[in-house]
């Protein structure tokens, strides 16, 4: 554990272009730490910034990556200093803790929040080290037989769907649908719904093999969208409800694809006293009769990031293996970042890629 | 106060066609009362059924009208009998109080609910009498100097926006926008927001004179949409925020028009940690990028009817003249129903028409 003079990093100099470079370690401010990175997950959001023209808050050049675990190697201020040597997860979004939105309990959408690989200056997770605020780090005291890099995915892939479940007020006995149930977020959304006591967790996705796997990880029933229209999928869902004497009202639908088709399926299933959670991101528009929400007394709710206060409970579920992570993670050296981005963009991966520094 | 053998009524025999007729008083069931109608408000919903092809649950012939006040003249069962002679408001939607949705506190959207003039068999408010369940009637013990027919509008025009405010968790210090602020629901939405302590209530509507009036009834600022695009209106709102050092985040927007333009304005204003309530009904679709809700951590919520439990508190606000009703109500004999429907459909009215029986 040494304090470096330089940070080795893979910078996105412009969308679609990565270069390996090294940058100065900035002078840490009061309340900041320097984290030596163990691993950083490749998220759909990174790929969106890199390939699809989604703009980052800090204009390039910057380093992407916001699913980070590591070890604190330096700090300024009492609390920051007390963390030196600790293993930590860096929340994907860190609130300012000092504005009206934070005070109202909505810090996950604080407008001054810092997100590595987006709005934390030029710093991101595809690096050897990163300077971050200490206040909201999730300290891992005993990671059992988990490697620290495995736990990087807690910061976003698991916590974002957990926040969605909290916002949806997901509770024991609920009826849940997850669209995009086999994707990077969906595999955790499905498990979280199950862990929180949902009575039904209907997994909807394209790939039949992945859907089959979802039945071992929280889903109670699976519907493949392969070669089916939105109407077909909705009809199959309704038939399932009818056969199993389940109400068509009151379902909580977690839309994790961000795609037009996924959103349209979710909207077609949404019914009386139902709730659709927008968990996946995509830039297209959909056409919808908003007054249906009135007639249904239903809601469409967006959900962003995760409050740092939820990290310890998510971590406990993970370390207790109630939410299973290991089957959904694979590791590559960080020097393979470009290939990892491409594979992630192509949507062919069955596991989340965590990149480990090999500078 | 006599129990009649026949109910005089204006039946909609088919959309667009009303006939004056008389029907049998049905044998009351346990827990039902017969109410002699004092007045019934003409609502946008009635006009939708009559002119615009919105389907009623009970197919025509049926009698429309769901904003009803009157006097209980007969009843079966102890509680129902105890109401004989009492003045009551009939909630526009009456839950079954015996299903999972009711048990979850969402009885306003109970699937077995009864709504006069829609799903209460053939019975509606544009009649001399109506048979209704007794359980959820709002008893008016002391109506001060209000006529009973004036109070009919509590059953929908005032309670529906109140339910919207409850669902939106409207509270002291909130920032509120009301689109369609000068319409039949909007005039109360604006007042309710003010009464519940909103710091800002920005009224948006077309008519400048009515908007001017809204400033005396809850609105703190008014924006006219006349000859303006959606973009223009949104820009004017943002400029107002900037001038007055108000955040653009966190507004609760109550969309009361149900029109495409109104919904588009509401969506254009919706921002970070904001909430759009769909209070007005219209059948058109709108195009929207749902992922904005994710990026904003924002919600679009539909709201239907009102829980009977809120009626007494709304009634108290009305009788205390904290929510003002008298300036927004006019009376016509029920025989003028067709003309009242036409004027309401044309959207030229400045006051709610309450029809009083003159059979």
What are A124-153's pLDDT values in tens digits? 999 999 999 999 999 999 999 999 999 999
Q: Does A320 touch chain B (CB under 8 A)?
A: no
ipTM, two decimals, is 0.94
- Looking at residue A298, its pLDDT comes to 98
Query: Do B122 and B61 contact (CB within 8 A), yes or no?
Result: yes
Kindly identify which residue of chain B lies nearest to residue A251, measuring between CA atoms.
Answer: B101
Which residues of chain B make contact with A302, given a CB cutoff of 8 A? 290-299
Kindly report the backbone phi and psi dihedral angles of residue A174, in degrees, each rounded to the nearest multiple of 5, phi listed first. -70, 155
- Looking at residue B347, its pLDDT comes to 80
Instruction: Say whether pLDDT at A328 is over 80.
Output: yes
Q: Mark B83-122 as b/e (b = at least 16 C-beta within 10 Å).
A: beebbbbbbbbbbeeebebbeeebbbbbbebbbbbbbbeb
Interval A94-123 mean pLDDT: 96
The two tokens of residue B125 are 């408010």
Q: Which residue has the higher pLDDT, A283 or A102?
A: A102
Q: Does B291 touch chain A (CB under 8 A)?
A: yes
Q: List, for residues B323-336, the tens digit of each pLDDT value.
A: 999 999 999 999 99
A258 falls in which pLDDT band (50, 70, 90)?
very high
> Within chain B, where are the H helices?
44-51, 78-82, 100-103, 159-167, 186-195, 208-214, 230-243, 260-269, 291-296, 311-319, 337-346
Query: In whole numbers, what is the pLDDT of chain A averaged over residues?
Result: 96
Instruction: Say whether pLDDT at A263 is over 90.
Output: yes
Distance CA A179, CA A86 (A): 37
Residues of each domain in chain B carrying CATH 3.40.50.720 = 159-302
CATH class of residue range B159-302: alpha beta
- Looking at residue B10, its pLDDT comes to 98
Which residues of chain A make contact with B305, given a CB cutoff of 8 A? 297
Comparing A295-304, A341-350, B297-306, B313-322, the range with the smallest average pLDDT is A341-350
Q: Does A56 touch chain B (CB under 8 A)?
A: no
Query: Do A143 and A321 contact (CB within 8 A), yes or no?
Result: no
Contacts 24+ apart (CB under 8 A), B85-89: B85/B1, B86/B139, B86/B140, B87/B38, B87/B139, B87/B140, B87/B143, B87/B148, B88/B35, B88/B137, B88/B138, B88/B139, B88/B140, B89/B137, B89/B138, B89/B140, B89/B151, B89/B152, B89/B154, B89/B155, B89/B311, B89/B315
Provide the phi-psi class of A22: left if phi over 0, else alpha when psi is between -120 and 50, else beta: beta
- Looking at residue B348, its pLDDT comes to 77
Query: Do B27 and B57 contact (CB within 8 A), yes or no?
Result: no
Which residues of chain B make contact with A291, given a CB cutoff of 8 A? 258, 278, 280-283, 302
Percent of chain A residues topping a pLDDT of 90: 96
Q: List, for residues B93-144, the tens digit of each pLDDT value.
A: 999 999 999 999 999 999 999 999 999 999 999 999 999 999 999 999 999 9
Query: Do A169 and A277 contact (CB within 8 A), yes or no?
Result: no
Q: What is the DSSP letter of A335?
A: G
A2 falls in which pLDDT band (50, 70, 90)?
confident
Query: Do B132 and B94 contact (CB within 8 A), yes or no?
Result: yes
Distance CA B182, CA B19 (A): 32
A233 falls in which pLDDT band (50, 70, 90)?
very high
Query: Which of B288, B289, B302 is nearest residue A294 as measured by Cβ atoms?
Result: B302
Which residues of chain B make contact with A288, given a CB cutoff of 8 A? 285-286, 288
User: A6-156+306-356 falls under which CATH superfamily?
Assistant: Medium-chain alcohol dehydrogenases, catalytic domain (3.90.180.10)
Which residues of chain B make contact with A247, given a CB cutoff of 8 A? 100
Interval A213-237 mean pLDDT: 97
Instruction: Say whether pLDDT at A192 is over 80.
Output: yes
Least Cα separation, residue B296 to chain A (angstroms):
7
Query: Which of A100, A286, A298 is nearest residue B290 as measured by Cβ atoms?
Result: A286
Q: Does A41 touch chain B (CB under 8 A)?
A: no
Strands A352-356 and B286-288: unpaired
Least Cα separation, residue B338 to chain A (angstroms):
26
Q: What is the DSSP letter of B257?
A: S
Percent of chain B residues topping a pLDDT of 90: 96
The SS3 call for residue A221 is strand
- Bridge partner residues of A287 (DSSP): B287
Using the structure block, give the residue that is written with the tokens 């470079």. Answer: A21
Q: How far is CA B53 from the centre of its chain?
A: 19
Instruction: Say whether pLDDT at B272 is over 90.
Output: yes
Residues of each domain in chain B carrying CATH 3.90.180.10 = 6-156+306-356
Using the structure block, give the residue that is written with the tokens 């927008």. Answer: A278
What's the half-sphere exposure (Cβ side, CA atoms, 13 Å) at A169? 7
A96 falls in which pLDDT band (50, 70, 90)?
very high
Interval A71-81 mean pLDDT: 98
Instruction: Say whether pLDDT at B53 is over 90.
Output: no
Instruction: Say whether pLDDT at B350 is over 90.
Output: no
- In a mutagenesis test of the B interface, which of A302, A305, A306, A307 is the best target, namely the one with the most B β-carbons within 10 Å? A302
Query: Which of A284, A294, A302 is nearest residue B296 as measured by Cβ atoms?
Result: A302
């Amino acid at each position: 554990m040494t304090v470096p003079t330089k940070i080795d990093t893979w910078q996105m100099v412009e969308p679609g272009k990565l270069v390996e470079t090294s940058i100065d370690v900035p002078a840490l401010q009061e309340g900041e730490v320097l984290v030596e990175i163990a691993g950083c997950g490749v998220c759909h959001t990174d790929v969106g910034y890199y390939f699809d023209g989604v703009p980052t808050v800090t204009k390039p050049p910057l380093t992407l990556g916001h699913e980070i675990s590591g070890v604190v190697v330096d700090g300024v201020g009492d609390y920051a200093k007390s963390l030196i040597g600790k293993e930590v997860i860096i929340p994907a979004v860190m609130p300012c803790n000092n504005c009206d939105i934070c005070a109202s309990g909505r810090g996950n959408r604080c407008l001054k929040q810092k997100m590595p690989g987006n709005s934390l200056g030029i710093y991101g997770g595809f690096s050897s080290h990163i300077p971050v605020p200490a206040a909201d780090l999730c300290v891992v005291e005993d990671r059992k037989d988990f490697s620290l890099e495995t736990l990087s995915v807690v910061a976003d892939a698991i916590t974002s769907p957990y926040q969605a479940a909290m916002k949806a007020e997901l509770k024991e006995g609920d009826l849940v649908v997850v669209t995009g149930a086999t994707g990077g977020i969906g595999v955790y959304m499905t498990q979280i719904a199950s862990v929180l006591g949902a009575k039904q967790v209907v997994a909807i996705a394209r790939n039949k093999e992945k859907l089959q796997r979802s039945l071992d990880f929280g889903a109670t029933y699976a519907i493949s969208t392969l070669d089916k229209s939105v109407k077909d999928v909705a009809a199959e869902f309704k038939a399932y409800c009818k056969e199993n004497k389940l109400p068509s009202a009151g379902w909580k639908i977690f839309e994790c694809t961000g795609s037009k088709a996924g959103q349209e399926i979710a909207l077609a299933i949404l019914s009386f006293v139902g709730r659709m959670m927008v968990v996946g991101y995509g830039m297209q528009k959909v056409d919808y009769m908003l007054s249906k929400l009135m007639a249904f007394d239903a809601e469409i709710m967006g959900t962003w990031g995760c409050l740092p206060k939820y990290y310890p409970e998510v971590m406990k579920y993970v370390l207790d293996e109630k939410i299973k992570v290991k089957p959904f993670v694979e590791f590559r050296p960080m020097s393979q970042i470009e290939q990892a981005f491409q594979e992630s963009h192509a949507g062919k991966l069955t596991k989340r890629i965590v990149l480990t520094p090999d500078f």
